[in-house]
């Protein structure tokens, strides 16, 4: 789907969502935090994402042996600026029924910080908001990790971090 077509479906809640955050870090550090399995775990409810991060490659987000969260393909990989991924949620039967959507990560340096924009689109009409509802917590945790080196420990943010295999 090209950009025009993607926008053409914007209408009801859920076809496209945009999340933005400013983080005091470099594009390289931010890219690393997004693509490193170990770093990712620390701000994604304890869920690691594994991939070789080449264009066309697959990725899997899971707590091995406990829960599968998502899978998809890396459609565009342009470090440290842009990552486009297909996204299929796996954590429940309800979200599996939603099928494939798309997640675009865009990093733009602003002064001594970076603006990170995550666009989750190609969602179905009136998509289950569980699909994209976790982004604010993930991005808040990512900011905390990069700016302080510490994990966010608000309720829910460490959901799987104590789980076996995590």
Partner 1 sequence: MDEVFKALADPTRRELLDRLFERDGQTLSGLEAELPMSRFGVMKHLKVLEEAGLVTTQKRGREKLHFLNPVPIRLIHDRWVGKYAQPWASALSELKQDLENEEEER
Binding of partner 1 by 117 (CB under 8 A):
yes
**Distance (Å, whole) CA 136 – CA 145:** 14
Q: Which stretch binds partner 1 (CB under 8 A): 20-28, 45-53, 54-62, 83-91?
A: 20-28
Alpha carbon of 160 to those of 24, 58, 116, 122, 123: distances in Å?
27, 23, 25, 28, 26
Q: Which stretch binds partner 1 (CB under 8 A): 11-19, 65-73, 77-85, 95-103?
A: 11-19
Smaller CB separation from partner 1, 92 or 129: 129
Terminal Cα-to-Cα distance of the chain (whole angstroms)? 36
Closest CA to 160 of 49, 52, 33: 49
**Distance (Å, whole) CA 45 – CA 92:** 16
Binding of partner 1 by 19 (CB under 8 A):
yes
Smaller CB separation from partner 1, 12 or 65: 12
Residues at the contact surface with partner 1, assessed by CB under 8 A = 4, 7, 10-22, 117, 135-137, 139-140, 143-144, 152, 154-155, 157
């Amino acid at each position: 789907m090209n950009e025009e077509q993607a926008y053409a479906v914007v209408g009801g809640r859920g076809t496209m969502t945009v999340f933005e955050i400013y983080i005091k870090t470099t594009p390289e550090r931010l890219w690393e935090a997004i693509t490193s399995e170990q770093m990712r775990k620390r701000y994604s409810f304890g869920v690691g994402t594994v991939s070789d991060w080449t264009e066309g490659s697959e990725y899997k987000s899971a707590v091995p042996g406990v829960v599968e969260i998502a899978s998809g393909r890396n459609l565009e990989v342009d470090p440290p600026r842009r990552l486009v991924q297909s996204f299929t949620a796996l954590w429940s039967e309800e979200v599996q029924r939603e099928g494939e959507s798309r997640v675009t990560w865009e990093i733009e340096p602003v002064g001594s910080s970076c603006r990170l924009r995550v666009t989750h689109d190609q969602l179905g009409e009136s998509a289950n908001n569980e699909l994209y509802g976790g982004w604010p917590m993930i991005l808040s945790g990512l900011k905390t990790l990069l700016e302080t080196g510490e994990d966010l420990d608000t309720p829910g943010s460490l959901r799987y971090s104590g789980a076996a295999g995590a």
